[in-house]
Structure 1
């Protein structure tokens, strides 16, 4: 990856253990004046201690909504070894190191440990401390790390629309596939399972895939591109519906019905299936993302299909009888 980029400093296992020990001790009761002084001395001794303490506080607050064995161990038996290990693991996962970043995809805790997240079917606006504006799409999450040298935004899952603010510090956007360096830009970034999709609406963005060693690709306004960890595909002009989700709309221009339903399913819970017999029907129009049931009803009028609802969370669009 670009040599000018510095990963946010990781929290070492030793410091993580110290932070967890202090938290466990504090939750066991009020500290004595001597122990309070010792904790304050530890906290001020190094910036890594302060970052570790901030992270463990955030992790501890988010555990209440986490239904997993890891959270159960961290919340119960305050003096147990398992709780200490669970808290330490959660702290390291939230620390933003390159090693633990990869682990987040393997554990069901990413949205709860993220700095900002949005639930299924909802969008969320976030203003960062530098003035940058972010809109998160459905089921999306990001981590944000700002320090004196740089600004780093990690897209952990889903999709975001970013309007950058002027700042003397460089801005880096990380995805699972590589590094983006926006310059006075407005951009949309979406994380797929096997690739990242970038659309640039204004300014310009340097793109460097994670395993790419050559010069970055400079993307200009009104361009879009897909890339993975090794390379990028040829850039193309923006689609007519690029970024329409920020206005709560799904724009289809001769889109296959199966692809359309796959997009619509991102905004609703449960399973939305498409019968192979109607998968290649083409659909065009503009549809509201906040009312997927209404969209399904419209499909039955505009196409030769019917919507079969086995339950609220299991719906199939099939050929009309």
Structure 2
């Protein structure tokens, strides 16, 4: 049986698929340089890009004459079917490969959110559940277990009967507590808003995490326990909060809520941003950044945005 890829592998696959789509649509010199930096930054990145290239070559030989001959026929249903097939063929190199890299559990999960979406549910026992952007969750309420497949969730359990959250890096038991869990490339971040939770990492002893505490669960076990900034959890109210944050870090977080590509000049990385931004309109967030910082927003399409350093004008 094919082993499901790790969260890190899924993120690399996503990134490679986005780069492939961008270059297929006509990347410029700036894009090529950015892609090269991404490839050079990790052997995993380079391997994923080479795999994407091989896949593109595999589908490059789809004969256009097949489509033209069939479209010439008068039967409307056959035309419609073929048009849809050709549309799928144009997307195959990216979509098919990305589909293979992402585990089926993501597509089959009981609950989903799209990019930029947050949703709330009330469970049968009165617990409150919320999913952040681009997240997937499986429910097994008979076993009182939730399986976080992808993304980020918040869970508020009011009753004494515990609910377990199964994540790739450990198990979290929640009762009379409120907790947030976020899957990252190499870790699972657990933050306790109220009460306390029991954690069983993949390796190492069980530990208790109390209100106001946060820990990263890793493949090697639990990291150090520390305090967390409640502003990290502003997404529950549809807000992205920054307090003198490096712009690069802010943009990487903002990119989770935007479909398509968001790129920026490395010269913008160290600029600082402070404020609370409503996630319901990320285009407006970019406009606000442009009004308060020396940057220019270049929009090729709604799904392809580049930020550049604005030159000083006298």
Query: What per-residue deviation string (whole Å, max 9, x for no partner) do you get for residues 107-157 of structure 1?
Result: 36444311111111111111122221101111111001122xx41111000
Show the counterpart of 1:10.
none
3-state DSSP of counterpart to 1:226: strand
Partners of 1:235 and 1:252 in 2: CA distance: 23
Show the counterpart of 2:184.
192
Q: Which structure features the higher share of helix residues?
A: 2
The 1:119–1:262 alpha-carbon spacing in structure 2 relative to 1, beyond 3 Å, is: same
CA-based RMSD of the aligned residues comes to: 1.7
Aligned: 1:314 with 2:309? no
Partners of 2:219 and 2:129 in 1: CA distance: 24
Partners of 2:101 and 2:274 in 1: CA distance: 37
Show the counterpart of 2:157.
164
Partners of 1:238 and 1:181 in 2: CA distance: 19
Matches for 1:256-271 after TM superposition, within 5 Å: 256-271=246-261
Matches for 1:225-264 after TM superposition, within 5 Å: 225-264=215-254
Partners of 2:213 and 2:198 in 1: CA distance: 12
Partners of 2:279 and 2:177 in 1: CA distance: 26
Aligned 8 A contact 1:161 1:189 in 2: yes
Aligned: 1:117 with 2:112? yes
Aligned 8 A contact 1:179 1:207 in 2: yes
Partners of 2:105 and 2:310 in 1: CA distance: 40
Partners of 1:173 and 1:233 in 2: CA distance: 18
**Is 249-258 or 230-239 further displaced after alignment?**
230-239
Query: What per-residue deviation string (whole Å, max 9, x for no partner) do you get for residues 190-221 of structure 1?
Result: 011211111100010112211x1x42121100
Q: CA deviation at 1:232?
A: 2.1
Aligned 8 A contact 1:120 1:267 in 2: yes
Any stretches of 5+ residues in structure 2 without a counterpart?
1-98
Aligned 8 A contact 1:199 1:242 in 2: no
Query: What per-residue deviation string (whole Å, max 9, x for no partner) do you get for residues 61-111 of structure 1?
Result: xxxxxxxxxxxxxxxxxxxxxxxxxxxxxxxxxxxxxxxxxxx99436444
Partners of 2:100 and 2:193 in 1: CA distance: 29
Show the counterpart of 1:84.
none
Partners of 2:198 and 2:219 in 1: CA distance: 15
TM-score normalised according to structure 2 size: 0.65
Show the counterpart of 2:166.
174
Any stretches of 5+ residues in structure 1 without a counterpart?
1-103
The one of 265, 276, 281 aligned to 2:266 = 276
TM-score normalised according to structure 1 size: 0.63
Q: How many residues matched? A: 213
Partners of 1:127 and 1:106 in 2: CA distance: 32
Show the counterpart of 2:43.
none
3-state DSSP of counterpart to 1:261: helix
Q: CA deviation at 1:248?
A: 0.6
Matches for 1:122-161 after TM superposition, within 5 Å: 122-147=117-142, 150-161=143-154
Show the counterpart of 1:88.
none
Partners of 1:203 and 1:312 in 2: CA distance: 42
Partners of 1:306 and 1:136 in 2: CA distance: 32
Aligned 8 A contact 2:160 2:176 in 1: no
Partners of 1:198 and 1:295 in 2: CA distance: 27
Partners of 2:219 and 2:100 in 1: CA distance: 16
